[in-house]
Amino acid sequence: MTLKGKRAVITGSNSGIGLGIAESLAAAGADVILNSFTDRPEDHDLARDLGARHGIAARYVAADMSKGADCRTLVEKAGGCDILVNNAGIQFVAPIEEFPVEKWDMILAINLTSAFHTIAAALPGMKAKGWGRVVNIASAHGLTASPFKGAYVAAKHGIVGLSKTVALEVAGRGITCNAICPGYVLTPLIEAQIPEQMKVHNMDRETVIREVMLERQPSGQFATVEQIGATTVFLCSPAADQVTGTTLSVDGGWTAL
């Protein structure tokens, strides 16, 4: 399976799952545009290294996914895209009554509204070519809830709904739109939650991972960025031409419970 000649834009891809997806798409032959809100030399080095290792064109474009105009500019600066992966995301945990309004607004902007803007910017080019893939990185929290994650759960349920709507709007035009719903994947986003959880539960690292984080993941194992990358490549393959408007869980059985 080769994605040679396809250009992929992956939002929030200088770290974690986004970078893993960029690696997998590049390994399958796609040219890739990496993104985050920072504009450091190491961000551009990351793209140069990826391009050199896989023999593909890779570029880093700084754009802040909390800002609608930046989301649209990202697609424009990429020169359009055949594959759009909406992956940028942040988390904040608090009871609803104490949830800071600015955190709510930021999570909704980055985890949900950014996808509205990038999809709107990318679809005309995909329609003109008669081929396109939109892959939205939702979460097991796009299908189920947990207390204290109100903004995150709302945004992730929202992106599942947006994926279905877009799929219907472009059905039959060679374009698909789906959401991948990972369970826990050990990335910087999750790593950052471990010390706080250790404090709250008065547990050591291994116990927090086993008894708190993976408690809802029946496999008892983290999913990997490589597995999310491979799932994205599958959704871009001809085998997935008729897979659209749906969710694909990579969650060790979480949502089967």
CB of 23 to ligand NAD, least distance (A): 12
Active site residue 60: no
Q: How many residues bind ligand NAD (CB under 6 A)?
A: 28
Residue 10 as a binder of ligand NAD (CB under 6 A): the answer is: no
Q: Which CB, 80 or 89, lies closer to ligand NAD?
A: 89
Residue 179 as a binder of ligand NAD (CB under 6 A): the answer is: no
**Among residues 9, 26, 88, 160, which is the contact residue for ligand NAD, using CB under 6 A?**
88
Residue 113 as a binder of ligand NAD (CB under 6 A): the answer is: no
CB 135 within 8 A of CB 83: yes
Residue 232 as a binder of ligand NAD (CB under 6 A): the answer is: no
Q: Which CB, 31 or 43, lies closer to ligand NAD?
A: 43
Q: Which CB, 131 or 148, lies closer to ligand NAD?
A: 148
Residue 187 as a binder of ligand NAD (CB under 6 A): the answer is: yes
Residue 203 as a binder of ligand NAD (CB under 6 A): the answer is: no
Judged by CB under 6 A, the stretch of 12-20, 94-102, 122-130, 202-210 that binds ligand NAD is: 12-20
**Among residues 24, 36, 197, 231, which is the contact residue for ligand NAD, using CB under 6 A?**
36
Residues 6+ apart with CB under 8 A from 35: 9, 10, 11, 12, 13, 14, 18, 60, 61, 62, 63, 65, 74, 88
Candidates 159, 155, 210; CA nearest to 186 is 210
Candidates 227, 107, 248; CA nearest to 167 is 248
Starting from the edge strand earliest in sequence, which strands make up the sheet with 58-62, in order?
58-62, 31-36, 7-10, 83-86, 132-137, 175-182, 247-250
Q: For residue 135, what is the enclosing H or E element?
A: strand 132-137
DSSP-assigned beta bridge partners for residue 36: 62
Residues 6+ apart with CB under 8 A from 252: 183, 184, 214, 217, 218, 219, 220, 221, 223
Residue 136 as a binder of ligand NAD (CB under 6 A): the answer is: no
Q: Which CB, 65 or 123, lies closer to ligand NAD?
A: 65
**How far apart are the two ends of the chain, measured CA to CA in Å?**
34
Q: Which CB, 80 or 252, lies closer to ligand NAD?
A: 252
Tokens of 183: 């369970």
Q: In whole angstroms, what is the distance from residue 141 CA to residue 182 CA? A: 9
Residue 139 as a binder of ligand NAD (CB under 6 A): the answer is: yes
Judged by CB under 6 A, the stretch of 13-21, 43-51, 167-175, 237-245 that binds ligand NAD is: 13-21
Q: Which CB, 88 or 177, lies closer to ligand NAD?
A: 88
Candidates 85, 34, 24; CA nearest to 57 is 34
Tokens of 23: 């690696």
CB 105 within 8 A of CB 208: no
Q: Restricting to residues 46-65, name those near ligand NAD by CB under 6 A.
A: 64-65
Residues binding ligand NAD (CB under 6 A) = 11-18, 36-37, 64-66, 87-90, 110-111, 137, 139, 182, 184-185, 187-190
- Could you list the active site residues? 152
